[in-house]
């Protein structure tokens, strides 16, 4: 799998996450373990540059996830400069919980 992460510091996130992304994901095993998936991403996510939608599409296809892509939000609070309120997270969590009844 191609690493979509771009370095933010001296050590590349690709280097840090290399083992995680080594080889293909076992999508059926992942789907069976959790059952239902929601994905929240931002189109301006600097970690998933140069094409954040490629990352989203990979996860949607592999997991059968429902995705919500925000027009902005960076890496959705991963860095101190981009802490934001995310009411979309509550909505996505409520959807999953409602299906589990």
Task: Report pLDDT digits (tens) over 51-80.
Answer: 889 889 999 999 999 999 989 888 887 667
3-state secondary structure of 67: strand
Distance in angstroms (rounded) separating the CA atoms of residues 55 and 88: 19
Contact between residue 33 and residue 63 where contact means Cβ atoms under 8 Å apart = no
* pLDDT, position 16: 67
Higher pLDDT among residues 86 and 8, named by residue: 86
Higher pLDDT among residues 33 and 50, named by residue: 33
Distance in angstroms (rounded) separating the CA atoms of residues 25 and 18: 13
Task: Indicate the DSSP class of residue 52.
Answer: H
Distance in angstroms (rounded) separating the CA atoms of residues 40 and 92: 8
* pLDDT, position 12: 61
Using a pLDDT cut of 70, give the percent of the chain over it.
Answer: 73
Say whether pLDDT at 9 is over 70: no
Contact between residue 77 and residue 86 where contact means Cβ atoms under 8 Å apart = yes
């Amino acid at each position: 799998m191609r690493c979509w992460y771009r370095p933010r510091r001296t050590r590349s996130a690709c280097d840090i996450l290399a083992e995680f992304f080594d080889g293909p994901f076992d999508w059926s095993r992942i789907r069976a373990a959790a059952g239902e998936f929601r994905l929240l991403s931002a189109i301006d996510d600097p970690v998933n540059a140069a094409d954040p939608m490629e990352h989203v599409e990979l996860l949607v296809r592999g997991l059968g996830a429902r995705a919500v892509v925000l027009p902005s939000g960076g890496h959705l609070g991963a860095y101190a400069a981009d802490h934001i309120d995310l009411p979309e997270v509550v909505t996505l969590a409520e959807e999953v919980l409602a299906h589990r009844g």
